[in-house]
Structure 1
Amino acid sequence: MKRELGIARCGLACCLCSENNHCGGCDSGECPGDAWCENRKCSKDKNYGHCYDCDSDCKKGMFGKIKPYGFTLFVKRYGEEELLDCLERNERNGIVYHREGIIGDYDDFDDVEELIRFIKTGKK
């Protein structure tokens, strides 16, 4: 885990991403989603560092997927440090963020509350 990379604007975990060896993140000037990422554009337009800084219960862009929406909701409830602590503990316990491509153990959820419980406990 590269904790110093933290959480992306949309809530995804840059700190655990399999792309973090060559991706500089949302604000690096090298973001691969610069032209199309609706969440990046919106948060920048509103002068937010992250989508979790916004009061809206947004479902646009990446939030059509459970993982970024769930991670953002987790941070809104418990804070970014708690998310990073949970992700770090879960990684030590064998939970994998990206197992095949960009799909991993946090992607196997249909319910956001189940994902949040999994983040907190490390148990399905």
Structure 2
Amino acid sequence: MTENSIAYCGLLCGLCHPEGDCNCKFENHCSKQSSARGCFQYNCCSSKNLNGCWECTESPCGIDMHTLDNVKIRAFIRCIKEDGLEKFISYIENNMGQGLVYHRHGFTGDYDLETEDAVLELLRHGKIK
């Protein structure tokens, strides 16, 4: 897994694609398939020449409702911002090795928890206190 595996919003698109890269970064897949306004994170990050929301000084900006409503996305961005991208990737890879699943049922997996702190605890320690 690399930075190219992680979407601008912090989701792990590379886990679902055989090439291991995020289609959003290379084909603007989200913008093509979502509403007429496209993907907020793609549009914002590409206009600011950022690799993801975690690089933005205004993050979390709270402008996009998808990010505001998704605890996992907010926690992933926060983790990358606080711990760095390499550490975030190591958390995900270590947790996968311990049996944690990103997508268990459809798009829902082990990281889909009630609070950001619970997701961060799971990311950083592979368990919830």
What is the TM-score when the length of structure 2 is the normalising length? 0.82
Structure 2 CA distance, aligned partners of 1:66 and 1:101? 17
Length, aligned pairs only: 119
Alpha-carbon shift at residue 63 of structure 1 (Å): 1.3
The answer to whether structure 1 residue 112 and structure 2 residue 110 are counterparts is no
Aligned equivalent of 1:55: 57
Higher RCO, Cα 8 Å, sep 6+: 1
For the Cα contact (< 8 Å) 1:66–1:110, is it kept in 2? Answer: yes
Q: Deviations over 1:59-93 (max 9, x none)?
A: 23331211111101000000011011010010011
Higher share in helix: 2
Structural RMSD (CA): 1.9
> Does 2:31 align with 1:33?
yes
Q: Which runs of 5+ in 1 are unaligned?
A: none
| Ranges in structure 2 where 5+ consecutive residues have no aligned partner | none
Which amino acid in the other structure matches residue 8 of structure 2?
A: R
- Percent identity of paired positions between Structure 1 and Structure 2: 29
* 3-state secondary structure, aligned to 1:32: helix
Contact 2:14–2:22 (Cα < 8 Å) also in 1: no
Q: Distance in 1 between matches of 2:52 and 2:28?
A: 17
Whether the 8 Å CA contact 1:6–1:84 is kept in 2: the answer is no
